[in-house]
Amino acid sequence: MDRIAQAFAKARTENRACLIAYLCAGDPDFETSLEISRELIRAGIDLLEFGVPFSDPLADGPTNQQAAQRALEAGMTPARVFELAARLRGETAIPIVFYTYYNLVFANGVDRAIQATAEAGVDGVLTLDLPPEESDDVVTACRRHGVAPIFLVAPTTAEERLPLIRERAGGFVYYVSRLGITGERSDLAEGLEEAVAMIRRHIDLPVAVGFGISGPEQAAAVAAVADGVIVGSALVNRVKRHLGNPKAMLEDLGGFTRDLRAAMPRKD
């Protein structure tokens, strides 16, 4: 069983959802990003999603755009992202997923990019702007190198497209709980339970929900219906809040992550 499958299986045996943390790789710099990742792992995340810094992050709101800009200004490149992932892989068995854009995968050759991803110990790749209908090259490379090709499902995704996504997807399905860009929200999107049920009628992979989850109460509500809870902007905002004070940053991130993890067990 691969690491992603193991993480979701372990959570199921513990009657809870997986806690998936999003960080922009290299934000605010390489070494601090490494320490943040270690702190979140100590605090109990089940899977780490690394955003690959990109100059035109169309799906990301201001919080994650600014994180990408900080990382780029600190010297992060795709090669350094692979190095960061490889450093962590040498220390932990936690699954690592790249959250990226097709231009970054395509620029130096799709197969080469996916091979480098696998060699860095990364378990999956989510290419945000790649529709499944146009994903042959990425899916083929992922299958060749043992990397899970992860796809998004949005509130606007027609039900008849889900079998195609199932044919191509691996690891888990990322359900975007609301339209628009990433960012913290004060409430959950409506129709979440129905949407997850619809996905499960067609796709037998775990369903993780993201976009807008800002705290333990929302995480608990999502954990009641989904297999995984993805928290990103709420973590990245805490990085920004403590720029220049790494000790406070790690304490805040660790405490917040432990609060999220404590909210994950299901009531049934």
CA angle (237, 72, 43) in 5-degree steps:
40
Distances (CA, A) of 179 to 3, 31, 61, 71, 123: 30, 34, 12, 26, 27
Q: Work out the mean pLDDT of the chain and round it to a whole number.
A: 92
Choose, from 27, 39, 49, 123, the residue flagged as catalytic: 49
Q: Is the pLDDT of residue 112 over 70?
A: yes
Q: Are 46 and 19 in contact (CB under 8 A)?
A: yes
Sign for the pseudo-dihedral over CA of 151, 153, 154, 158: positive
Residue 212's pLDDT band, with cuts at 50, 70 and 90, is confident
Q: Is the pLDDT of residue 229 over 60?
A: yes
Structure tokens at 142: 């992922």
Q: Is the pLDDT of residue 28 over 80?
A: yes
Q: What is the CATH number of the domain that holds 221?
A: 3.20.20.70
Q: Structurally, how many domains does the chain consist of?
A: 1
35-41: long-range pairs with CB below 8 Å, 24+: 35/246, 35/250, 36/239, 36/249, 36/250, 36/253, 37/84, 37/88, 38/88, 38/91, 39/250, 39/253, 39/254, 39/257, 40/235, 40/253, 40/254, 40/257, 41/88, 41/92, 41/94
Q: Is the pLDDT of residue 268 over 90?
A: no
Between these two residues, 57 and 234, which has the higher pLDDT value? 234
Predicted pLDDT at 201: 96
Predicted pLDDT at 188: 63
For the segment 25-51, the average pLDDT, to the nearest whole number, is: 97
Query: Domain containing 219: what range?
Result: 3-262
Residue 22's pLDDT band, with cuts at 50, 70 and 90, is very high
| 85 assigned to some structural domain | yes
**pTM of the predicted protein model:** 0.93
Predicted pLDDT at 187: 55
Q: Is the pLDDT of residue 264 over 80?
A: yes
Q: Is the pLDDT of residue 267 over 60?
A: no
Query: Residues 234-255: pLDDT tens digits?
Result: 999 999 999 999 999 999 999 9
| 147 assigned to some structural domain | yes
For the segment 64-76, the average pLDDT, to the nearest whole number, is: 94
- Percentage, residues of the chain above pLDDT 90: 86
Residue 265's pLDDT band, with cuts at 50, 70 and 90, is confident
| 268 assigned to some structural domain | no
| 255 assigned to some structural domain | yes
Choose, from 60, 184, 227, 252, the residue flagged as catalytic: 60
Predicted pLDDT at 250: 98
Q: What's the CA gap between 113 and 121, in Å, rounded?
A: 13
Type of residue at 217: E
Q: Is the pLDDT of residue 110 over 70?
A: yes
| 46 assigned to some structural domain | yes
Q: Is the pLDDT of residue 185 over 80?
A: no
Q: What's the CA gap between 7 and 2, in Å, rounded?
A: 9
CA nearest neighbour of 8 among 113, 136, 97, 115: 97
Predicted pLDDT at 108: 86
| 162 assigned to some structural domain | yes
| 50 assigned to some structural domain | yes
Please confirm, yes or no, whether 73 is among the known catalytic residues.
no
| 267 assigned to some structural domain | no
Please confirm, yes or no, whether 160 is among the known catalytic residues.
no
> Which of 2-6, 53-57, 150-154 is least confident?
53-57
